Each structure stands twice: as C-alpha cells, then as structure tokens.
Amino acid sequence: MAINVPWVTLRGCDKPMPVIGLGTSSYPPADHATTKAAILEAIKLGYRHFDTAFAYGSERAVGAAIAEALRLGLVASRHELFVTTKLWATFADPGQIVAACKMSLQNLGLEYVDMYLIHLPVRLTEQIRAVPVAAEVVKSLDVEGAWGAMEECKKLGLTRGIGVSNFSSKMIEHLVAIATIPPALNQVEMNTGWQQKQLRDTCEAKGVHVTAYSPLGANNTKWGDARILRSQLLAAIAQAKGRTPAQVGLRWIYEQKVSMVVKSFNGERMKENLGIFDWCLDGGDLEKIRLQIPQRKAVTLASIFGPHPLILELDRELTN
C-alpha cells in the first residue's frame, strides 16, 4: 500500500509540498528508461514530489513518468504531484530566465512546475565543456535581476512557487530584503554529518523553508561517501529502534522541520526511506546526533567548476 507523506505549507507558494521528494540526480547518470521506471515505482510506493534540474538531464524522464502514471491511473491528476526543477547557471542572466523556465517545462511536458529554484548563486557565460571551466566564464549572480525574472516566472503561471538552492545565510538575508515575492525555500546540503544549524536558524527567522539535499550523504557519488550510512552512532540508535541507519538519518532531518529530497532508484530502499513517519527519536538520541557526529560539507562549487577566486569565496561563505 502507498505510504502517505506529510505535506508542508510554504510562504509565497500556491501549493503545499510533500516533505520527502525523490531525487533524480544519479551518479553516474542513469539512462532515460531507468530513471522513468524508478519514478513510476516511486509513485506506486507513495512518492508525490520529484526533484529534477536542467543540469541533471532527468527532466524528460520525470515528464515521461508523470505522463505514464496519469495514463495508468496511478494518480488521478497532475495536481496530486509536486515537481521541482532548477535554473542552471548558464541561464542565470536575468534576460534568459523566463526562456530557461519554459525550456524546462518543454523538457518535462508540463504546463507548470510547482517549484522553480535558482540552482546556484553563480552565473556562467557559456556551457561547461571541460572542468575546470575557464575563469572568465564564471561571474557573480545579479541577485536582484535574477530574482525579478524568477518572480516573472511565477506571475506568468510557469511555476507555483520560487526559491533558491545553495544560498548562504548572508545571501538569504539579502534576497529576502529585496524580494517582492519571498523565496519559498532554500535547498541545501544537509544531513546528520552537515547539520547547517546557523543557516537553518537564519532561514527560520526569515520565513524561508529549508529542504535537505544529499540527506544520506550522497553515498556512491563522486562527491559523497558512506559515513552516514556507516555511522556507528546511527547504527546503534537504529538497532534500538528497530529501524535502519538511513531511516534514523532521514527521521533526524524531519524532526528538524526540514523537508528532504533523497535519491534511490531501488524499490526496497525507496520504501525504506518513506518509513520515517510513524515513530520518533528520543531526546537523548537527538543530543548525541547533535554533538557526536563529525561535521563535513561534501559538495563544493570548486569541485564542480574549478578553484576560481569567486568560486572559492562562495565555498568559504557556504561552509561557514
């Protein structure tokens, strides 16, 4: 039977969002058929939120899976699903953003997405052909201009909500101060091994919801590792609760009032990751997780673009 996932209300977004979404960025990139089949399986299990991005190359597979799910009657209407996609850095010039959103909608075969995010606080003047990218290609983001264009996407009905990803506390404070439509959420790396307390406090104070990406530490990817899934502390808590370390890690995120996008294309693990809503962690467990797990950020902009001065400066800001 499909599991019912709680939904969270977001400021400035016309629709609530399921607190667990299925991530669709896979490493190495999965082919179209594999991604589509995983999403269909996820819908059968109860996932209603799908996290994609122009940069992941998974928008077409997400769209194809949604069309198939509707055809098969797995969901009664598009409105039952929540689709997030993201503006890639090469389209982050204000004049290109509405067109980039329309391009993502075309890839998805949808009339609107539920959440459109600025993927990164940086702009590139051309597509990445090799890493590191040439230094002159990397530019700082015109936040006012870009956000104005994001607001336009919402006003045109291309998206139900708008937000950001990989923004620091300072960037969130600046954005909230200049926004007419406030950012609904900030999607950032967060897990028991990178707890983001300060950023979460800033976002809460500014009314910006936080969504955790790489909630299990992105095991088996170029940037992540198994330190969460193999944590002795999480394993001990899991054993005492009759759960798995992955479920303890995801439940901890949920108890911080943070939503998450978790990637698994394996049916058993997808189901396991939904099993976090009918039990809770003890106060002592929460305290041990807070104090005893070594903290390290896995995703850096330098690993994506190269060690350019602007990129290193952004990484420093995002790691503080």
Ligand X SMILES: NC(=O)c1ccc[n+]([C@@H]2O[C@H](COP(=O)([O-])OP(=O)(O)OC[C@H]3O[C@@H](n4cnc5c(N)ncnc54)[C@H](OP(=O)(O)O)[C@@H]3O)[C@@H](O)[C@H]2O)c1
Residues with active-site annotation: 56
* Residue window 67-86: x/- pattern of binding to ligand X, with contact defined by CB under 6 A: --------------------
User: Residue 244: which of 220, 223, 264, 224 has the closest Cα?
Assistant: 264
Which tokens go with 36? 């589509």
CB of 73 to ligand X, least distance (A): 26
Instruction: Give the footprint of ligand X on residues 98-127 (CB under 6 A).
Output: 119
Residue 272 found at the interface with ligand X (CB under 6 A): yes
Alpha helices in the chain (DSSP H): 32-45, 59-72, 97-108, 143-155, 169-178, 197-205, 232-241, 245-255, 267-274, 283-292, 301-305, 309-319
User: Residue 250: which of 217, 218, 273, 279 has the closest Cα?
Assistant: 273
Residue 214 found at the interface with ligand X (CB under 6 A): yes
Is the CB of 42 or the CB of 218 nearer to ligand X?
A: 218
Q: Among 98, 220, 227, 235, indicate the residue that binds ligand X (CB under 6 A).
A: 220
Decide: 25 and 58 in contact? Cβ < 8 Å.
yes
Q: Which amino acid is at 135?
A: A
Provide φ and ψ at 196, rounded to 5°.
60, 40
CA distance 151 to 154: 5
Residue 219 found at the interface with ligand X (CB under 6 A): yes
Is the CB of 181 or the CB of 262 nearer to ligand X?
A: 262
- Closest residue to bound ligand X by CB: 23
Number of Cβ within a 10 Å radius of residue 119: 21
Q: Judged by CB under 6 A, which stretch of 39-47, 194-202, 259-267, 274-282 contacts ligand X?
A: 259-267
Residue 57 found at the interface with ligand X (CB under 6 A): no
Is the CB of 131 or the CB of 136 nearer to ligand X?
A: 131
Q: Which residues bind ligand X (CB under 6 A)?
A: 23-25, 51, 119, 165-166, 187, 213-221, 224, 229, 246, 261-266, 269, 272-273, 299
